[in-house]
C-alpha cells in the first residue's frame, strides 16, 4: 500500500531532463496531485466539507472526483477494463463524498490510483489507441497521449479552483 502524498513536489520545469514524453506528462500529474493534497490538507474541517462557491462543491469532493477521473480515462477507457462504479464520484448529478470518508482515505485512494496510472502509461506507447468500449459512448477510442493531456488539463484546472477556495478560506495564495 502506498502512503498518501507527503510534501508538495516542485514544478516540473521544462529544462529538467527526461527519458520520455510519458515521463514528462506523469511528472506534471504527480506535481498537480501533490498540490491538490497540500491545498486540501490546509483547509479546516468546515472549509473542507463546506462550499464557498455558488456551484456548491466541497473541496473534499475534488479528491474523490480526480481519483475517479483517472480510473474512467485510463482503466475503463484506455484499457477497456470492467470498472465497478466508474461514476462513483457522483450522486444525483453532483460530486459526492460520504460523511464517513476521510480526506486521508481519499488521498490514499488517489495515491494508489496514481501508481496504477503510472503502470498503465509506462506499459504502453503514447501513440497507442485505447480499447473500444462503453467509455467512449460510440466514438472512436482516444490515444494515450491525448488522454494524458486531458488529465493534465483537468488537474491544472481543478488546482486553480482550489487556489481560489484557499484564498477565500484563509488567504493562502499560490502553488
- The tens digit of pLDDT for each residue in 103-124 reads 999 999 999 999 999 999 999 9
**Residue 83 CA, distance from chain mean position:** 17
Show Cβ contacts of residue 49 under 8 Å, excluding neighbours closer than 6 positions.
58, 59, 60, 97
Provide the mean pLDDT of the chain.
Answer: 93
Whether residue 70 contacts residue 39, with contact meaning beta carbons closer than 8 Å, is answered with no
Which residues lie closer than 8 Å to 147 by C-beta, 6 or more apart?
73, 74, 77, 78, 130
CA–CA separation, 149 and 126 (whole Å):
11
CA distance 166 to 161: 9
- pTM for the complete prediction? 0.93
The alpha carbon of 52 is separated from its chain's Cα centroid by a whole number of angstroms, namely 21
CATH no., domain 21-85+97-170: 1.20.120.450
Per-residue confidence at 13, pLDDT binned at 50, 70, 90? confident
| CB proximity list for 172: less than 8 A, separation 6 or greater | 39, 42, 166
Q: So what's the pLDDT on residue 14?
A: 87
pLDDT of residue 2: 56
* C-beta of residue 2 within 8 angstroms of C-beta of residue 111: yes
Please tell me which residue, 173 or 112, carries the higher pLDDT value.
112
What residue ranges in the chain does DSSP mark as E strands?
90-91, 94-95
Amino acid at each position: 500500500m502506498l502512503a498518501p502524498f507527503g510534501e508538495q513536489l516542485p514544478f516540473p520545469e521544462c529544462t529538467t531532463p527526461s527519458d520520455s514524453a510519458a515521463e514528462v506528462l506523469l511528472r506534471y500529474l504527480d506535481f498537480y496531485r501533490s498540490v491538490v493534497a497540500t491545498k486540501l490538507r490546509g483547509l479546516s474541517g468546515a472549509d473542507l466539507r463546506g462550499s464557498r462557491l455558488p456551484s456548491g462543491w466541497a473541496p473534499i469532493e475534488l479528491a474523490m472526483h480526480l481519483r475517479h477521473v483517472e480510473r474512467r480515462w485510463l482503466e475503463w477507457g484506455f484499457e477497456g477494463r470492467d470498472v465497478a462504479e466508474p461514476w462513483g464520484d457522483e450522486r444525483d448529478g453532483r460530486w459526492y463524498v460520504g460523511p464517513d470518508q476521510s480526506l486521508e482515505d481519499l488521498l490514499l485512494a488517489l495515491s494508489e490510483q496514481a501508481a496504477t496510472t503510472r503502470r498503465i502509461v509506462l506499459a504502453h506507447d503514447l501513440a497507442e489507441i485505447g480499447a473500444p468500449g462503453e467509455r467512449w459512448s460510440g466514438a472512436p477510442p482516444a490515444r494515450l497521449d491525448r488522454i494524458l493531456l486531458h488529465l493534465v488539463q483537468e488537474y491544472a484546472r481543478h488546482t486553480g479552483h482550489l487556489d481560489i477556495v484557499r484564498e477565500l478560506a484563509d488567504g493562502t495564495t499560490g502553488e
